[in-house]
Amino acid sequence: MTSLDYAQMFRIDGRHAVVVGCGGIGAEIAAGLAAQGARVSCLDKDPATAAAVRDRLAAGEDPGHAAHAVDVLDEAALADLVGGLGDVDVLVLTAAINVRKKLLDYSAEEFDRVVGLNLRGTFNAVRAFAPDMQRRGTGSIVALTSIRALVVEPGQGVYAATKAGVAQLVKTLAAELGPSGVRINAVAPGVVETPLTAQIRADEAWNRAYAEKSVLGRWARPEEMVGAVCWLASDAASFVTGSQVMVDGGWTAVDGRFTPPFG
C-alpha cells in the first residue's frame, strides 16, 4: 500500500457508498458521505424515505446518487438489488428497531421483530455485500451499534442483546474478512435527538437524566455521528478493523451520575 496523502486521506471521492436505513441518523450519514465525495445509494424499506434523502444529496444536480426500496429481511430481493448496484466500496448499516418493555412483558412476536431486524438484518446485509468486496480485495463496512451494546437499563434488554450481538458479529467478520482486505467496524451512538427518541425527550425528568449522564451534559445531534462513520469509511482508518467507536459524549466512560466533593 502506498503512503497516505494526508491532505486527502479523509476524502472518499469516486467511491460508491451504500447506506441501509436512511431515516434519522442514516440520512445525515448519507449526506456526510456525499460531502466527502462518495456516490451514495440510499436503501430503505420505505421508498419515500430513500427518495427524500437521494433528492437532498442531489440538490438540483445528478452526481449519480440513487434510491432503492428494499427490506433487508427479504434475502431474495436484497440479492437482486445488490446484483444491480455494481461495485460497492462502503457499506453503512443503520436499520434497527426497539420495543421498550421489561423482558418478562415481551411477547414472542416482539422479540422476533427486534432480533430479526437488528441482528438478522445486519447478517443478511453483510452476506449480500461482502462477497464482492472480498473478490475485489477492498471495502469498508460500518454497522451502528449503541451504548446498549455495553450498558443496559430496564426495558432495553432485547435491544441491548441485539446490539451486543452486532458488536460480536463485527469482531468475527473483521477476523474473517480482513485477510481479503475488507474492514468492518462499529459506531456506537449514545442518546441522539431523533424522532425515535421523541417520547423520551418529551418527559422532562427522563430527558434531563439522559442529558446529565453524558459528561458533556447534553444529547447528541444526529450529525455528530457522521464524522466517525466517514473516518472509518476513508483511508484515514486503513488499519482500523474490528473496533467499536463510542460516540456517546462520555456516557460509558464514567461510573454513575454523582460527582464526589473534593477538598
Residues involved in catalysis: 159
* Contacts for 19 with CB less than 8 Å, ≥ 6 apart: 26, 29, 30, 33, 40, 41, 42, 43, 53, 92, 94
Residue at grid coordinates 486521506: 9
Long-range CB pairs of 101-110 (<8 Å, 24+ gap) are 101/155, 102/154, 102/155, 102/157, 103/157, 103/158, 106/157, 106/158, 110/158
The Cα–Cα gap between 166 and 168 comes to 5
Instruction: Quote the cell numbers at residue 110.
Output: 416482539
The Cα–Cα gap between 210 and 251 comes to 9
Residue at grid coordinates 441482528: 119
Residue 22 CB coordination number (10 Å): 29
The Cα–Cα gap between 108 and 106 comes to 7
Specify whether the CB–CB gap between 126 and 169 falls below 8 A: yes
